[in-house]
Amino acid sequence: MPLTHILLIVLTAAAVLGTIFLILLFLQLRRTAAEAQRTLVEVRALAKNLSELDLVVKDRVEELGETLRASKKAATGLSEATMLVTSKFLPAPAKYFPFILPVARFVMRQMKKRKEKSDGK
């Protein structure tokens, strides 16, 4: 067998192997492209859901801000009213409230305990 025949066989085998490799590569690329397309559809759906969630969160934050402003305004008004009452109408007794209130609370608890004991007998 001459050298040209051997060279022709080797070149034919290399061409067949190269073609098989390219076919397998293209099939794998096709599968990968299909998977990438499915993943892209999922990513788009998730991005849409995320943007909707972002809008909901922004609305809730705005509502919370309004509620906080209203609470702040109410607390300020209550503070001013309390200051007015304690400074104008109750100036002398108001300075004893920090002492009177805990004592009154203690006395009320003791009376409640005594009542529970007498009801239990």
The total domain count for the chain is: 2
- pLDDT score of 61: 92
Residue pair 86/94 in contact (Cβ under 8 Å)? The answer is: yes
Residues 50 and 107 reside in one and the same domain: no
Residue type at position 101 = L
Q: Residue 117 belongs to what domain range?
A: 92-121
Residues 50 and 79 reside in one and the same domain: yes
Taking only the tens place, the pLDDT of each residue in 54-109 is 999 999 999 999 999 989 998 888 888 887 776 776 666 667 777 788 888 899 99
- pLDDT score of 91: 64
Taking only the tens place, the pLDDT of each residue in 8-19 is 999 999 999 999
